[in-house]
Amino acid sequence: MIITGLIVGLVLGALMQRGRFCVTGMLRDIFLTKTWRSFVALLIVISVHAIGLTALDSAGIISTSVDTFAPIAVVIGGFIFGLGIVLAGGCASGTWYRSGEGLVGSWVALIAYAVTSAAMKTGALSGFNAWLRGFTVDATTIPESLGVSPWYFVIGLSLLTAYAVVNYRNRASSQVKGDLGVRGWRRPLHQYTAGLLIGIVGVIAWPLSGAAGRDSGLGITGPSANLTNFIVSGDLKYLDWGVLLVLGILVGAHFSARAAGEFRVRVPDPQAAVRALVGGVLMGVGACLAGGCTVGNGMVETSLFGYQGWVALLAIGLGVGAAAKLWLKPTAQSVALQRSTEEQPVRPVDHDRIARQYGSVATAPVALKVAAPSQAGVRQLAAGVYALDTVGAICPFPLIDAKNAMSRLEAGEKLVIDFDCTQATDSIPQWAADNGHKIENFHQTQAAGWQLTVVKGEN
């Protein structure tokens, strides 16, 4: 029955990849663009989970359980995890599916995360983990503490989520956004649609996992640690439903990206690789202390209204906010504005040159991040038309640099942006719409490479 874990993972990986679904970006947007729009997608997952899991538990089909609350470990671990996911460029599930898109930096973060998680759970750091998580209080879920039915919280959260969805969808309908011009499978899923489907998959996952002897729902940290232990020891007891789940996420995302023309191996420079490594270590330490990552805590424990889930999610958000303040700043790439009276043709990044220079693997000329060697700064292409090359920049730097460059332009002037960060296909058009800018000529230039033009609005 553990094969169902692989099937669930394949579906989950494809949905996350097509929906650009990463909790890191959702929390990051709160601080970077001052909007809760993408966070609503997480609320959708939690609400669908809450409805489904509460119904299954009430019917006796599953038996949900919540860990005793360890406040010190959860707060410290959540904050550390929040710092780590910003450095790594994605949360636990996001790192798994972005590895399937070909981001070598995510591979580095993933290995560090899995190894550190194993060390925290069963290895050299297990004593420290058990010691800090040993400081507990006699509390599990909020409804239990209040002595009321969890359905009150399920209904309340669902109504709040529905209001937020309607509110943001109505705003979006009155704004002009960019369109990649693709249809069918190649067209990205709306984040809210992805959230709904991921929530449904999460509900189905619990009884399937239980049938395989693992009485739990979706989770990433424990399975990642078990995969490491299985690889090292060869002990089949570690090869469980959860391990097949995370492997399925990787494979599902890979084939999804290939089918959509969004797969390309992208190698970070040494500084970016080091940051990914440090981020992965922090993710492993933080997730184990907190009792879960943005899936186990942020999607599942929250849906059961456990103290651990909601406190961990808040701590992760604070960690992301601190990391955004420390590290997410405009780079030199968007600061130097090169004006010229000589008109030049608007052109995309010379990908043939990149292929000749680096072979079939495109090397990312960034850490967090250094200027691209080909076109440093914002170049003037023609009267009122400028170009920003962010190819190789991990998210959210294409958006950060675009915002900074646009702040230096006049109303009606245009910025041509080249990028290869998949998540930016959503974040840049959404930011433009929110700020009264217009998107023109949004198209794919190569596998996992895009170009769009932002026309600055009057605001």
Q: Which two tokens stand for residue 365?
A: 């000329």
**Helix count and strand count (H, E) for the chain:** 18, 8
Angle at Cα 317 formed by Cα 242 and Cα 118, nearest 5°? 35
Looking at the chain, the whole-number percentage of residues with pLDDT higher than 70 is 87
227 vs 431: CA distance, rounded Å: 38
**pLDDT confidence of residue 230:** 97
Q: What confidence tens digit (pLDDT) does each residue in 193-221 have?
A: 999 999 999 999 999 999 999 988 899 99
Q: Is the dihedral of CA 183, 392, 446, 415 positive or negative?
A: positive
Cβ atoms < 10 Å from Cβ of 376:
16
Place of tokens 């997410």: 328
Q: What confidence tens digit (pLDDT) does each residue in 306-359 have?
A: 999 999 999 999 999 999 999 988 876 666 665 654 554 544 444 444 333 333
Distances (CA, A) of 388 to 325, 398, 418: 23, 9, 6
- Which residues are registered as beta bridge partners of 378? 337
374 vs 2: CA distance, rounded Å: 49
Per-residue 3-state assignment (H helix, E strand, C coil) for 427-459: HHHHHHHHCCCEEEEEEEEECCEEEEEEECCCC
Reduce the DSSP state of residue 377 to 3 states and report it.
Answer: coil
Reduce the DSSP state of residue 388 to 3 states and report it.
Answer: strand
Query: Does 369 sit behind a cis peptide bond, omega within 30 degrees of 0 on the bond before it?
Result: yes
Q: Reply yes or no on whether the pLDDT at 243 is more than 90.
A: yes
Active site positions, annotated: 395
**pLDDT confidence of residue 371:** 34
Query: Does 223 sit behind a cis peptide bond, omega within 30 degrees of 0 on the bond before it?
Result: no
**pLDDT confidence of residue 187:** 83
* Mean pLDDT for the chain overall: 88
Q: If 0-12 CB within 10 Å is exposed, 13-18 middle and 19+ buried, where does residue 259 land? A: middle
Cβ atoms < 10 Å from Cβ of 16:
26
Q: Reply yes or no on whether the pLDDT at 181 is more than 70.
A: no
Give Cβ neighbours of residue 370 (< 8 Å, ≥ 6 apart).
269, 271, 331, 332
The domain covering 332-455 belongs, at the CATH homologous superfamily level, to TusA-like domain (3.30.110.40)
Q: Which of 284, 271, 292 is nearest to 394 (CA)?
A: 271
74 vs 253: CA distance, rounded Å: 30
Give Cβ neighbours of residue 188 (< 8 Å, ≥ 6 apart).
18, 19, 20, 180, 260, 425, 426
CB 367 within 8 A of CB 438: no
Beta strand segments in 218-261, E: none
Domain range summary for the chain, segments of one domain joined by +: 3-327, 332-455
**pTM across the whole model:** 0.89
Phi first, then psi, for residue 445 (nearest 5°) are: -100, -25
Give me the count of residues in the chain.
Answer: 459
